[in-house]
A = this chain, B = another copy of it.
Amino acid sequence: MARLVLKFGGTSVANLERIRNVARHVKREVDAGHQVAVVVSAMSGETNKLVGLCREASLLHDAREYDAVVSSGEQVTSGLLAIVLQDMGVEARSWQGWQIPLKTDAQHGAARITDIDGSKLIERLEKGQVAVVAGFQGVAPDNRIATLGRGGSDTSAVALAAAIRADRCDIYTDVDGVYTTDPRIVSKARRLERIAFEEMLEMASLGAKVLQVRSVEMAMVHGVRTFVRSSFDDPDAPQLGAGGLPPGTLICDEDEIVEQQVVTGIAFAKDEAQISIRNVADKPGVASAVFGSLADANINVDMIVQNISPDGRTTDITFTVPESDYDRAFAVLRDKKDLIGYQAIEGARDVVKVSVIGIGMRSHAGIAARCFQGLAEKGINIRAITTSEIKISVLIDSAYTELAVRTLHSLYDLDG
């Protein structure tokens, strides 16, 4: 017997036929003797419709009212799934955020979860009742409904799993797991049986869009074993695959990964642009002047590279911004030329960041060197490099994206 949280997104609950399919997944787990809480999104299209009504009402709408309107979508799905489950003979009830309560901060429209009281849910789960929880919503300190912002239902599910001390949080999605890289680019990409939280965090933030970064962060902080699987699976098919789990990817603590690979995956982020500032003074406060100015203009900076000054007086700073902010970033830097003090700024639009990710590289030497050598052999020029403990990122011309990803995928023995 295990305690499970299952999360289903909008396309999985788009109509009553699909909601019945979701109910069959739930019933299978209940029949297997598990305690089950389900987190549901709004029926696909509903949230957009409700957001559209708010915009039509006023372009500058009160976020608290927006939350009251938009959260109704998940409220409807939670009630309908509870009805369908009961109809199948599964005891179930719906829970709105304020009923649990799932408490958030006051940032209506993009709230963060501050506290979940799991006691009432646990009491019901232990009696065999399925809890159907409206995702994406909680209650703010003003006792009003708050929505959680992008990826909110994933975050609801993981946070709920932590609060009720679930053994696993199953994220049902339209892909069947996390791959070593994008299968559309590398046909030999393999589904990972397991991936460590830290690795998934790098994969998620670099563009593998299976799970929102916030929900992975939360899973890591609370140690919630999170299992990504396909909602299109036949609910009645045999469940056990390798490792005692059906097809999918388990995101877990690295201790749970027995056969640790050195490199787990190759990620890449398109739509980046590079900016380099030449000959800035190598003294305290310069980096702050550059990135403070960009932050004030609400421009997100990703990769930052600054080398040791060769002469001790001036240096170059290179960084990337979203391609859509490139012109604006240039304008900000020109404005602040006197404050920052530099000789020239230059940049490039068509760049891509390719990253090699793996917890194993902490204990293996030479991983970075192989990356640089492999790219050099294919004649791919590296514009900039940054590394962390478990990641090597290189900035290259975007024309070489596929070649670089395929080369690195083979190089680190990831091909299936």
Query: Chain A interface (Cβ within 8 Å of chain B)?
Result: 16, 19, 50, 53-54, 56-58, 60-62, 64-69, 71-73, 75-76, 78-80, 82-84, 86-87, 93-94, 96, 98-99, 143-145
Contacts and interface: CB of A to CB of B under 8 A. Distances in A.
Given A57-B83, A75-B75, 11 more contacts: A53-B76, A54-B83, A58-B87, A61-B83, A62-B86, A65-B80, A65-B94, A68-B75, A68-B76, A69-B83, A98-B98
Nearest to A88: B58
Copies in the assembly, this chain = 2
10 contacts: A16-B57, A58-B84, A68-B78, A68-B79, A68-B82, A69-B75, A69-B79, A69-B83, A71-B75, A72-B75
A132 B68 CA distance: 12
Given A65-B94, A72-B72, A143-B99, A19 B78 contact: no
A224 to B, nearest CB: 27
Nearest to A20: B57
A86 B58 contact: yes
A317 B85 CA distance: 50
A80 B53 contact: yes
Contacts of A78: 68
Given A68-B96, A75-B68, A82 B62 contact: yes
Contacts of A86: 58, 61-62, 65
Nearest to A71: B75
B56 A68 contact: no
Contacts of A87: 57-58, 60-61
A57 B93 contact: no
Contacts of A50: 76
A56 B16 contact: yes
Contacts of A54: 79-80, 83
Given A53-B16, A98-B98, A99-B144, A93 B64 contact: yes
B98 A83 contact: no
A64 B53 CA distance: 27
Nearest to A54: B83
A79 B58 contact: no
Given A60-B87, A98-B98, A65 B82 contact: yes
Nearest to A80: B57
A163 to B, nearest CB: 18
A56 to B, nearest CB: 5
Contacts of A56: 16
A58 B83 contact: yes
Nearest to A23: B57
A170 to B, nearest CB: 23
B72 A76 contact: yes
Contact of A93 (B60, B65, B72): B65
A57 to B, nearest CB: 4
Given A72-B72, A72-B76, A75-B72, A66 B83 contact: yes
Nearest to A57: B83
Which 4 pairs from chain A and chain B are nearest by CB? A69-B79, A68-B79, A72-B72, A58-B87
A179 B267 CA distance: 74
Contacts of A99: 143-144
A64 B78 CA distance: 12
Contacts of A66: 79, 83
A152 to B, nearest CB: 17
A210 to B, nearest CB: 30
